[in-house]
Structure 1
Amino acid sequence: MSVPERPKRPLNGMRHIAFRVNDLEACERFYTDLLGMEVLFRPHHNLVYLTLGNDNLSLSRDLQGAEKAEGGTLDHFGFVVDSAEELDQWYHYLRSAEVPMVSAPHDHQDGARSFYCLDPAGNTVQPIYHPAISGQTFSSTGDHQS
């Protein structure tokens, strides 16, 4: 099987990360009260999305009661794309390159669209289009530009 051409524009940064946590409320307080993040969206009592305006941190309650692994509770990390159409292009490109897929592209309640795949080490990677953070660019000095 031939691999289609990679989408023209590169991924637009890694500004999304997700953790499974045992004490969701304590973690939310840490990130909001101490680090200054704001609640972006709370789909239900076991999940909250936080932001500093140019990123997206997902905290989900660990319902399986897993022991905290040394190094933390990473669930997945996300690379931002700038449109839902580009997201679908990335899915087809990576799938045809035989990247292991965890899910097909799907829409979220907050207008985001994403899919999950695995890197060679088994980490879950989420390419994501998110209206709150997609389309933003950053200069090499870190200055935000819309």
Structure 2
Amino acid sequence: MPTHFHKKPNTYVSHVQIKVSNLERSIEYYKTIIGFDVLEQTNQTAVLTFDGATSILSLEEVENALPLAGGQTGLYHFAILLPTRKDLGNFLQHVAEKNIRIGAGDHHVSEALYLYDPDGNGIEVYIDRPEEEWIWYGDSTVHMVTEQLNVQSIMADGNGQWKGLPQGTVMGHIHLSVSDLEATEKFYTEALGFEVVTRYGAQALFISTGKYHHHIGLNTWNSGGGVKAPDNSVGLKSYTLVLDNAEQAEKIKSNLTAMGAKVEQFEGAPTFGGAQAFSTEDPSGIRIIFTLEGE
């Protein structure tokens, strides 16, 4: 699997924080089905881990939680990237044994499985195909499709040894439901420095740094002209981007201020971004935390 896309100097997603309606139910799901362990827990929150040290996902229970609703911006899915095809085969065997309903797609650059947590938060579990197999048109557009996945082939690569998320797992990307694709593209490319690498018509685009197939997906399929979900809705609370250095951080702060976005110092647990973190909201009201702490 290509590994350098989720390390500095690239800007990449390191952590996702989601809101749930019942913390214990969600912990059980993410442990039993997805393969996390609990690193830290309070009455309202749980920091999840796969290696006993780092976290790529955390949960927060909200009181009087509202369900996900159409016409709102936020999470489309977060995507957990496994190291090998054998790992994906083992995960597929595991969810089949648990009778979990899944979707699947072959995107040419990757092979992906899709499922939902108990609150309807979207999850992708995937592997990347070798980077040398990706097709680029010129130097700017990567070939991505959605075709039928060869589930039998992936299943055959497993060895029945699923023991939870393996070492080397990362948060591969996040896919967001946004209200205005043009304004969102301007924000992420001009303020944050991402490059557009694929467009799906006028309703979706995929952006990255360092020529990854995408660190962030953006679409208006169910959210065009939509509004930010209420604070007590289940769904996305925030996601974290790792920046390369302090100079880049200051440039992004300046870009955000010039664009009229509010920049806030982020005082949170180190797990969620580190001492040097700051945050903002994108044009759809999605909270982004920036940190220098990462690989």
State the TM-score, normalizing by the size of structure 1: 0.63
Contact 2:238 2:289 in 1 (8 A): yes
Query: Mind listing any 5+ residue stretches in structure 2 that lack a counterpart?
Result: 1-7, 71-75, 77-120, 122-234
Q: Per-residue deviation at 1:59?
A: 0.4
Aligned-partner Cα distance in 2 for 1:77–1:116: 10
Corresponding residue for residue 44 of structure 2: 46
1:44-88 superposed Cα distances (whole Å, 9 cap, x missing partner): 2101111234652110011242233356412222212367x5786
Tell me which structure has the larger Cα radius of gyration: 2
1:74 corresponds to which letter in structure 2? L
**Cα 1:104/1:122, change in 2 over 3 Å:** same
SS of the residue 2:24 aligns to? helix
Aligned-partner Cα distance in 2 for 1:126–1:82: 14
Aligned length: 122
State the TM-score, normalizing by the size of structure 2: 0.35
Poorly superposed stretches of 4+, deviation over 4 Å:
85-88
1:35 corresponds to which letter in structure 2? I
Q: Per-residue deviation at 1:93?
A: 3.3
**Cα 1:68/1:39, change in 2 over 3 Å:** same
Identity %: 21
Q: Per-residue deviation at 1:16?
A: 1.1
Aligned-partner Cα distance in 2 for 1:90–1:25: 41
1:73-113 superposed Cα distances (whole Å, 9 cap, x missing partner): 12222212367x57863663344333523632325265823
Query: Mind listing any 5+ residue stretches in structure 1 that lack a counterpart?
Result: 1-7, 136-146
1:60 corresponds to which letter in structure 2? E
